[in-house]
Structures are given as structure tokens and as C-alpha cells.
Amino acid sequence: MALDAHLVELTGKHRALEEEIEAEIARPLADTLKIAQLKKEKLAIKDEIARLKGEGSESEVA
């Protein structure tokens, strides 16, 4: 159950980063370094979500 809660939290952070990226891109003078950093964070969260989902399915099979 704790894994599910963590996945929900990570998914929320991933969504919030996407919204922040979109908002920054929409600005007239978008900060490309900030966008790159946000995208890096978003990718790290996506990787963590994928890793946790993989671990979750493995433990269900075992």
C-alpha cells in the first residue's frame, strides 16, 4: 500500500513539473536553462515511477 501512495505522489510531482515546463515555455522570454533543469527532474521522476512499477509487478508474481 505504501508503494501505491508513493507512486501517486511521484505522479503528482511529474504532472506539476509538466505544468511548470509549459508555463515557462509560454513566457515571452522563456529561460531555456530552467526548462532543461525541469525536464531533467521530470525524466528522473518518470524513471523512478517505471522502476517502482517494475518492482511492484515482480513482487506480485513472486
In this prediction the pTM is: 0.82
Per-residue burial over 13-52, b = 16 or more CB atoms within 10 Å of its CB, e = otherwise: ebeebeeebeeeeeeeeeeeeebeebeeebeebeeebeee
Q: Give pLDDT, residue 55.
A: 81
The model's pLDDT over 4-40, given as tens digits with 9 standing for 90+, comes to 999 999 999 999 999 999 999 999 999 999 999 999 9
